[in-house]
Amino acid sequence: MAGVAWHYVLKFIITGDAAVGKSSLLIRLTDQRFLNNPDPTLGVEFGSKLITIPEENKVVKLQCWDTAGTESFRSITRSYYRGAAGCLLVYDVTSRQSFLNARTWLADVREHADPHLTCILVGNKIDLCSDDGQPGRRPREVPTEEGERWAKEEGLLFVEASAKSGENVEAAFVQATRDILNKIKRGMFDNDRSPGVKLSQPSSDTLNLEDDRTRTRCCW
Ligand SMILES: Nc1nc2c(ncn2[C@@H]2O[C@H](COP(=O)(O)OP(=O)(O)O)[C@@H](O)[C@H]2O)c(=O)[nH]1
Ligand SMILES: [Mg+2]
């Protein structure tokens, strides 16, 4: 892979109710850290990271848009659904309401995004309901099987994760990326029709995974 900085740039959106951990998942992916009290997202935030898919011998640059989960920002964030190749639809496993509301978020995505978009349902905050006797535990309100079942019914990928511990965070993006690469192989995305998928610009840059992490706040 020498001489290629990345083979694909994929646009991802992260959506779901406020406070389910969307921004925390992005910070975990790009910065490998966790904030107990992050600033609430206003509008949209952006983060990018290079990941490798070894079996495909491909380097993929993920460009992730972190949308605000509040109703008042919906009209702003809708335009960001357009052109996305992947979507993380996030709920909190300790909040049944956030799981029920995922239906509305999915309807929004389906209305505004590319029909070929790969969507992965992410049940976040699994650290809160582990059995380790630590303080601050909360009961799980959405069993794994229920999340899995609904994801299957809707044709979504599924994973449970924790932005706090980092469990399955990169794996969620990798799983979705694999699916998108398969779709690219089958010709479902192309450069012209799908602004969320860009093909490689061969370059002489040395491949450097560490230097390509950025987070940007977009202000309105
Ligand atoms: N225990 C735990 N708390 C989390 C996790 N992810 C996010 N949080 C907390 O949940 C709150 C909302 O997170 P945030 O990322 O701002 O949610 P957003 O509104 O969906 O972007 C914050 O207090 C986070 O620290 C997680 O995986 N585990
Ligand atoms: Mg946020």
Ligand 1 contact via 195 beta carbon (within 6 Å): no
Residue 208: per-residue pLDDT:
36
Q: In this model, does residue 211 exceed pLDDT 50?
A: no
Ligand 1 contact via 43 beta carbon (within 6 Å): no
- Which of these ranges, 52-66, 124-138, 202-216, has the smallest mean pLDDT? 202-216
Residue 187: per-residue pLDDT:
85
Which residue's CA is the closest to the ligand 1 atom numbered 19? 19
Q: Assess contact for 189 and 197: CB atoms under 8 A.
A: yes
Residue 92: per-residue pLDDT:
98
- Residue 77, SS3? helix
Residue 198: per-residue pLDDT:
66
Q: Assess contact for 113 and 196: CB atoms under 8 A.
A: no
Task: Please give the full DSSP string across 3-64, using - where no structure is assigned.
Answer: T-S-SEEEEEEEEESTTSSHHHHHHHHHHS---SSPPPP-SEEEEEEEEEEGGGTEEEEEEE
What pTM did the predictor assign?
0.87
User: How do residues 121-179 score in pLDDT, each as one tens digit?
Assistant: 999 999 999 777 677 788 999 999 999 999 999 999 999 999 999 999 999 999 999 99
Q: How far is the CA of 151 from the centre of ligand 1 (A)?
A: 22
Residue of 24, 42, 66, 91 with the most ligand 1 atoms within 8 Å of its CB, for mutation = 24
Q: How far is the CA of 193 from the centre of ligand 2 (A)?
A: 29
- The chain-wide mean pLDDT, for the chain, equals 83
Ligand 1 contact via 41 beta carbon (within 6 Å): yes
Q: In this model, does residue 4 exceed pLDDT 70?
A: no
User: How do residues 177-191 score in pLDDT, each as one tens digit?
Assistant: 999 999 988 888 765
One-letter amino acid of 54: P
* CA-136 nearest atom, ligand 1: 1
Bridge pairing between strands 86-92 and 8-16: parallel
Ligand 1 contact via 69 beta carbon (within 6 Å): yes
Q: How far is the CA of 144 from the centre of ligand 2 (A)?
A: 24
User: How do residues 5-54 score in pLDDT, each as one tens digit?
Assistant: 889 999 999 999 989 999 999 999 999 999 888 777 666 678 999 999 99
* CA-37 nearest atom, ligand 1: 23
List the domains of the chain with CATH numbers.
Answer: 8-218 (3.40.50.300)
